[in-house]
Amino acid sequence: MEPEEPVRDVEYLESLTTTVHAGVQYGVEVLAVGEERAAGIPVPAIAQARLAARHRIPLETVLHRYLAADKKLAAFVLEEAAGVDPSDVLAAMTAQGTAFQRLVAVVTEEYVREAGARPATHEARRVERARRLLAGETVDPGILDYELDGHHLGLVASSAAARPLIRKLAGELGCRSLILAPSSNELWAWLGGAREPVDPAAVRERLAAGGDPMLPIGMGVPKSDSKGWRLTHAQAQRALWVAEAKSAPVVGYDEAALLSTVARDPTLTASLHEKYLLPLSTGPDGGRVLRATLRTYFKAERTAARRPRPSA
């Protein structure tokens, strides 16, 4: 268990308040009617134990809160015991002690169960939080230590081994970064800027020069705010498919969008093949030279189009 951190989550703080109220009511009820006749362990206490586990609050801290409440309640009973039959006071205190033991047992069990179901490492918890944010859930992004309100450029690689490369890239560009490895076969990254987006041309240039075709990277389009954070990631994932297929160190969504979309449509793919490739399949080489010439021609055209025009 990691050290306790300040909890900012409103859900957790509210549950704490609700649990205190429910716990006091339960304690008073036990004193009044006995442990056996009182209602079961308050549901908010169970929910709060689970939430505490999710927020990495140590179990000792959770149990100390109950212990403090138990002592407070015992002190209250003793204050009010004047004039009451000592055997009644003893019975009430015994019931309270039994109820407290049962409460601690239930809370501990719930806490341990929830903690066991949670990701084991800090990195895994960051990945889990990012997954939930990518799914559109409203959860606290604090654990990511990355500002979602700024500008983002999504990068996705098919290997966690790309982490040093992207970390170096972020350092060279002097931008914020969020780098997560959901598994050894996946790396998600966002390069961020508070005031202006990271230049995708600079990222592409550096990855093309310093990247590795064995570690292809898909790159999204610069976007802003949390919605853009999700979109640029989805774009990078699409681009990654093309980068992998081409064994290219980097492919941007702007050049991969059409290809990755068409490739998912078997009807369209077959139609394009029939309309453009089959007619070219003539001659003794089946049109191989013609197609190679066309590829070279289009590549040269694209390169010329990208070249900056001289100023007048």
- Residue 129's alpha-carbon distances to 21, 118, 138, 148, 251, in angstroms, are 30, 11, 10, 13, 27
Asked whether position 257 contacts other proteins by CB under 8 A, the answer is no
Minimum CB separation of residue 264 from other proteins in Å reads: 10
Asked whether position 263 contacts other proteins by CB under 8 A, the answer is yes
SS3 287: coil
Asked whether position 213 contacts other proteins by CB under 8 A, the answer is no
Choice between 47 and 263, CB closer to other proteins: 263
Minimum CB separation of residue 235 from other proteins in Å reads: 18
Q: Which stretch binds other proteins (CB under 8 A): 18-26, 103-111, 139-147, 270-278?
A: 270-278
Minimum CB separation of residue 266 from other proteins in Å reads: 9
Beta strands in 194-294 (DSSP E): 217-219, 223-224, 250-252
Asked whether position 298 contacts other proteins by CB under 8 A, the answer is yes
Asked whether position 284 contacts other proteins by CB under 8 A, the answer is yes
State which of residues 275, 306, 307, 309 lies at the interface with other proteins (CB under 8 A).
Answer: 275
State which of residues 16, 89, 115, 245 lies at the interface with other proteins (CB under 8 A).
Answer: 245
Identify the CA nearest to 156 among candidates 145, 147, 165, 148.
165
SS3 19: helix
The CA-to-CA distance between both ends of the chain, in Å, stands at: 65
Asked whether the beta carbons of 169 and 203 are under 8 A apart, the reply is yes
Asked whether the beta carbons of 198 and 192 are under 8 A apart, the reply is yes
Burial class (CB in 10 A: 0-12, 13-18, 19+), 214: exposed
Q: Binding to other proteins (CB under 8 A): which residues in 84-103?
A: none
Choice between 24 and 290, CB closer to other proteins: 290
State which of residues 184, 289, 303, 312 lies at the interface with other proteins (CB under 8 A).
Answer: 289
Whole-number Å distance between alpha carbons of 126 and 128: 5
Asked whether position 294 contacts other proteins by CB under 8 A, the answer is yes
State which of residues 297, 308, 309, 311 lies at the interface with other proteins (CB under 8 A).
Answer: 297
> How far from chain centre, in Å, is Cα 281?
49
Asked whether position 288 contacts other proteins by CB under 8 A, the answer is yes
Whole-number Å distance between alpha carbons of 204 and 208: 6
- List of residues contacting other proteins (CB under 8 A): 242, 245-246, 258-259, 262-263, 269-270, 272-273, 275-282, 284-291, 293-295, 297-298
